[in-house]
Chains A and B, each alone.
Chain A
Amino acid sequence: MIEFKNVSFHYGGEQGTGEGVDNISLQIPSGQVLVLCGPSGCGKTTLTRLINGLAPHFYPGEMEGEVWVDDVCVSTAPLSETSRLVGSVFQNPKSQFFNVDTTGELVFGCENFGMEREEIRRRLDRTVEDMKLSALLGRNIFELSGGEKQQIACGSVYTARPEVFVLDEPSSNLDKKAITRLHETLRRIKEAGKTIVVSEHRLYYLMDLADRFVYLDDGIVTKSFTAQELGKLSDEELSALGLRCTDLHRLMKSPLIGEIPHGGKPVLETVDLGCNRGNHQILDVDRLSFPAHSIIAMIGDNGCGKSTLTESLCGVIPCSGSVAFDGTYLTEKERARRSFLVMQDVNRQLFSDSVMEEVMLGASASPEEAKQVLEGLGLGDVTDRHPASLSGGQKQRVAIASAICAGKEIIFYDEPTSGLDRGGMERFASLLRQMQDKVTSVIITHDPELILQCCTHILHVENGRILGFYPLNEEGAARMRWYFLSESEESTSRKREKLGMFGKILQYAGQWKKYTYLAVAFMIIGALCSAVPYFGVYTLIDRILAEGTISLRAALPAIASVLVFSVLYAVTYTVGLQFSHRAAYHTLENLRISLQEKLEKQPLGNVQDLGTGAVKKLFTDDIESIELMLAHVIPEGIANLTVPSAVLLLLVAVDWQMALLTVILLCFGFSASGQMVAVGMDRMGSYFAAAKRLNNTIIEYVAGMEVVRVFGREGESGRHFEESADGYRDFALAWYKVCWPWMALYGSLFSNVVLYSLPFGALMVVSGHMPLGRYVLALCLSFAIGPMFMRTLALIGAIPQVNFKIQALEKALDRAPLKCGTAEFEGADHSVRFKEVRFAYKSDEVLRGVSFVAEEGKMTALVGESGSGKSTIARLLSHYYDVSAGEICIGGQNLRAMTPDALNREVAYVSQELFLFNKSILENIRVGNPQASDEEVREAARKAQCEEFILGLPQGYDTPAGLAGSKLSGGQRQRIAFARVLLKDAPIIVLDEATAFIDPENEQKMNEAIAGIIRNKTVLVIAHKLSSIASADKIIVLRKGKVAAEGSHEELLETSPDYRRLWAASMESSGWLLKGGESA
């Protein structure tokens, strides 16, 4: 029970944003969820502070009345006592952590209370499980995104489990999944009988939880609603109260949004944008362009790379790829000069003493113009104030004003409306609309209300990739709304691996690692052996110098050792190389296998997305480059660095001044090669992207050769090819251009170490500071290490390339795999039900909420114009892709819950295209059921009406498909596909345009084959020829990704204009066909 007894509170000094609260009398019974709402500055936050005691204990002010929590008067009790009773979550995610690691933060409260260790552990486990925080455990808080931090803050209070929870705008930085999780957490807390007080602008997610909404205005409680009462308020009434919407379903696109700009010169374009953090590629954008004068909303889950994308586009973090503003490619610096980012924490962006000075800093506008801009933004009367004395909203506008005055072309905003009330949000939206003519705006946001108020485009980011970029027309709005409404609470936070490049490679090496280590050992011995002969030479020369002559007998041991060690060197080095190669190729094998496993789990779309060229490049070229790393760079590099280092140390003992000279030269050499690696790495992304593009173009060019020749489109296709080749050349040259000078520099430094030490040593000898013998030894040592350094260098150049390839390899396969369960088929029957299924392929939404049932043992036909989504439905049922929303059930079981094998046993999909493996016809049919005996295969072929033509082939059933392939007609190929399906005998059959190849000669046989297949099965047929499905039990008419009508043929002819049109069109064409047939 919380009780406010006639409380008034006013801040002393400059604390807080609001003016305080007056005459608050409020009782909150235990177990209630109370939401404080009202416009910004109405005193919501102050009320929360009065409950957790921070006002007046931390924020001093004038206080009247008392606040009681249970039997403690928190207004007078010390904070430490209140903290046991009241747990608080604050607005700003970055300033409520005391620890630097997440686990420590989650248990911080419990530790302060002196709780038993076991109890803390239990609670922590519980929190992690309830709030799905396992991916966030043991992390550095500074590397989390704002939303992730807020989750930790909630989790931390949840672990302490006080009687009263006070949350001050907990959702302001959260994505919708995190909000769903927050909702779930609040529900659990409520169920546990705790009292919850939430101060919040976003109301929709609290509607089913809150018992009471208390409305504050100007520090006074003016109204109180139940959830029902509030839900009944119309949008106008809410707007009058300054409240945000209570139900996202009711959100409508604002009529204030003007025409959606399209076409014209894009204001920003980017190609192959990539960004690495640590050893991971966290951004991978193929192509993106923003139309001029658009307002783009960037949406996506917390930590999906929105900020990284923004900062890469603005050029404030290093990235690879090209970004063009207004059609001109720009460097990072130029991009930063022409764009602007309004940060979430505006304090970081204000540098000057007064607003006017701030706006004029680096501005191209005159003071008069600046004044106008400020007035336009409602800042006319604060021009002389210190920016720090302004409110948050005003600071934000000062930042925007400075961007406008500096003539920026694109302004990015990082969650500009988090924590804004409705009025503030609407003002911000209208501000953006006003500026639309002048600048393009890109808003990172989790606020659907803002999007529907002002945006023209949606950019959906997922896991560092563009999931879709679409205009916000009616369909776009529906798609966007669905994204914010979908009820998924899974956490997308991932643990970031911290393995370096070598670590990653060795991970794949597995048990072969020991061979790599052996190789290193052998090569070190080898390198040592290669140095020893120089000692032999030294002893010889030394003796000659000392005695003037030397007998063969005396020289023999030295000469022998030179020979022996030369041989030893060759042997150990070879053995080392053998080991390293053995390790390398086994690792490559592991890598390819794991890559293939990952590829198999990918949705088909992702694989096609990658492109055949890229996949081939991944599997061969990129993986092959790792061989260089494992077989040479690691063992040879280590050997060739350790031994020279040891020799250098020896040189120190011989003569430290010569050693110093050598070291200084080597340092220059290494810094030059380091420079090369650094500058090379920056360009590497563009270079490899160009290579990938060239690869894909070549494959496309060859695959499309036939079409190109037939239709004489050499020109266009050739041009495309040429462009790719040119692009590759340019990027390769650019890369070499920056690398060349450094290569030349270090090359000359390393190979000529002796050149510099020779005269210096001679000088020392002449001046009598060094005996001649030592000089000779020093020279010999220099000669010994020279070649080793050269060998190392050859390898250093390869490191950035390999590193980049490995990163690309990982990024290519970190796309979300298909969601598969572990269950067997457990459905009650074999009916198929689509429930509100949505599916988008990149920017195009193909299915927009499709629901229907295909009953067991019946034939259901899907008809519609091409592009209406028929084939997509078939593919979704075979789980080639994951649905974006909704679910597909077989006999009541979601197909995502099944293992791929289980699903495969239930569904047989006959597509338009039959792929014949390079095996015999018999084996090709057996693909349907690998366990089938030869006789069963033949039986199936007979039923599918195949036997006749198969026996006509040169070797009958044993004819290789490659040989037979060209002789088979479309209809015959189709019947082979039927034979496969017959053999498979799955209870659900999907026929996709199965009768496309029908011709009069085939028709009879085809129909017999189909009749054999579909007997007693659940059948989904997709057909263009409506005559073939007129007898279907149910026909579903699709239009633009939605179900337009369903029913039997007769019903639809009466009720559905769409169907009538399709039917008429189909009759016409088949009539034409028949006539053709008759005349022939």
Chain B
Amino acid sequence: MDTILYGDDSKALVRFDPRTKLFIFLSCGLTSMYTYSGIYILLFTGAICAVLALSGKPWTALKAFLLFSVALYVKEAVDRGGSPAPAVVLIVSVVTTLILYALPTILSILLIVQTTRISQFLSALSAMHLPVRVVIPIAVLFRFIPTVQDEWNGIRKAMAFRGISLSFGSVLRHPWRSIEYVLVPLLFSTVGVMEELAAAALARGMDIDVKRSSYEEMKLRAADYIAMAVFAVLAAVIILRVSTKGAAGL
């Protein structure tokens, strides 16, 4: 089983600080509203893909970038081409806009979860002087998702032995029973796991009152500053341009 949340940066060319990745995520949030800014949003997405590629996921980055550029291109072509069938235009525009809107944000999330390990994340967060009360829930969330995934895998196998089917038809026929069959074992086993997990974490000094250190050095380096500057400038340009253009348009 492949846990998508496993942060693997072994192939990374540049190891960006988790704070940089968070910054990219935030800038995505700001710019995602301005997807019609054409070339700039393409540049912006390109920059995210570049960071992703440098962090050891070149193929994902390449595929995402191609997808984004094709979507942008198709959208332009459709806008210019026009069509006798407005319904088709609508469908194609919705699909392309959705891609243009969501892809940068998805990429920035991927960048965080797939190339950052929990320990790196913890140390970056504590370096930002966030209180333990904020840091721990985030870290637990990281840990919880693969746990559920793992349990779910086991439960699905157990269901096969009991002849419980989760096919579309049977879920439709007995929605409540299907939910019960999924939730009862999932809840009991994850609750158990999470409680023991909490005990183990506490017994190992999770809530200790000293500043956490880190096995891996988490420091903002030149690459981080450059990346942050690039994203800040891009985001600023996109927002400014679009709002001035938008104002002019109005």
Contacts and interface: CB of A to CB of B under 8 A. Distances in A.
Nearest to A52: B203
B161 to A, nearest CB: 5
B16 to A, nearest CB: 17
A469 interface: no
A83 B123 contact: no
Interface string B129-163: 00000000001001100100111001101111111
Contacts, number: 227
B11 to A, nearest CB: 10
Interface in B212-239: 212-215, 217
Contact of A80 (B70, B120, B205): B205
B43 interface: no
Given A95-B192, A104-B119, A769 B84 contact: yes
B129 to A, nearest CB: 15
B6 A336 contact: no
A435 interface: no
Nearest to A655: B81
Contacts of A314: 160-161
B192 A100 contact: no
B200 A95 contact: yes
Contact of B5 (A100, A115, A143, A160): A100
Given A337-B163, A351-B164, A649 B73 contact: yes
Interface in A631-674: 649, 652-653, 655-657, 660
B1 A143 contact: yes
Nearest to A353: B184
Contacts of B199: 54, 58-59, 90
Contact of A114 (B70, B118, B149, B213): B213
Given A53-B203, A316-B161, A120 B213 contact: yes
A488 interface: no
Contacts of B205: 80, 83-84, 109, 112-113
Contact of A90 (B88, B200, B217): B200
A145 to B, nearest CB: 12
Interface in B61-106: 70, 73-74, 77-78, 81, 83-85, 88, 92
Given A351-B164, A656-B77, A111 B203 contact: no
A341 B157 contact: yes
A341 B156 CA distance: 12
Q: Give the one of A95, A341, A402, A406 with max B CB within 10 A.
A: A95
A774 to B, nearest CB: 10
A958 interface: no
Q: Give the one of A88, A142, A316 with max B CB within 10 A.
A: A142
B203 to A, nearest CB: 5
Contacts of B6: 100-101, 140, 142
Interface in A69-102: 79-80, 82-84, 86-88, 90, 92, 94-101
Given A54-B203, A107-B119, A109-B204, A138 B10 contact: yes
Contact of B185 (A90, A124, A351): A351
Contacts of B180: 351
Contacts of A403: 161
A90 B196 contact: yes
Contacts of B73: 649, 652
A942 interface: no
A343 B154 contact: yes
B202 A347 contact: no
A88 B196 contact: no
B161 A336 contact: yes
A211 B84 CA distance: 89
A110 interface: yes
A482 interface: no
A349 interface: yes
A652 B204 contact: no
B103 to A, nearest CB: 18
A116 B7 CA distance: 23
Given A99-B118, A111-B214, A120-B213, A362 B164 contact: yes
B196 A124 contact: no
B160 A336 contact: yes
Interface string A331-354: 001001101110101011111100
Q: Give the one of A87, A157, A349 with max B CB within 10 A.
A: A349
Contacts of A124: 215
Contacts of B181: 351
Contacts of A113: 205, 208, 210, 213
A169 B174 CA distance: 42
Contacts of A140: 2-3, 6, 8
A111 B123 contact: yes
B197 interface: yes
Contacts of A361: 162, 164
14 contacts: A52-B203, A54-B199, A88-B204, A100-B7, A100-B117, A100-B118, A100-B143, A111-B212, A111-B215, A138-B10, A351-B164, A361-B162, A649-B73, A769-B83
Given A101-B6, A113-B210, A114-B211, 15 more contacts: A58-B199, A83-B205, A83-B208, A95-B195, A100-B117, A100-B143, A111-B213, A120-B213, A120-B215, A143-B2, A348-B151, A349-B162, A350-B185, A388-B188, A657-B85
